Amino acid sequence: MHLKKGYKALLEEAGRRVTTVPLAEARALWERPDVQFVDLRDVRELEREGMIPGAFHAPRGMLEFWIDPESPYYKDVFGSGKTFVFYCQSAWRSALATLAVQEMGLAPVCHLEGGFRAWKDAGLPTAERPPHHPRK
């Protein structure tokens, strides 16, 4: 099979078009009340490895639906007017997701260089995934 554009080309394009925040800058942003970190990883990754404290979990597969106010799945957090810092495990999904939501019009948005792995390897704060409370 020959693809018109493989994942490497997609990542290169995203890298040219989105803002990537270095770890030190992300650490400073994390403490600001006008910034919301968004964890795009699968719930199993969160359960296994934890997450950045205070991050909002938005599974990559639902992101565009949760961001669009016209979607039945819309989440109010994305209408907060905050700066959004997306992250995944190694900054691949977050690069592509940041480009997608930027094209939708969500702003300001950026992603964490090196992802959660870099954050955790640097000894920065992590926490267990908060318990899930199903809708009643």
**Tens digit of pLDDT for each residue in 3-38?**
999 999 999 999 999 999 999 999 999 999 999 999
Residues 23-121, CATH architecture? 3-Layer(aba) Sandwich (3.40)
What does the block give as tokens for 51? 């997450």
Q: What's the length of the chain?
A: 136
**Tens digit of pLDDT for each residue in 53-65?**
999 999 999 999 9
Secondary structure of residue 95 in the 3-state scheme: helix
More confident residue, 115 or 129: 115
Secondary structure of residue 19 in the 3-state scheme: coil
Angle, nearest 10°, between helix axes 7-17 and 92-104? 60
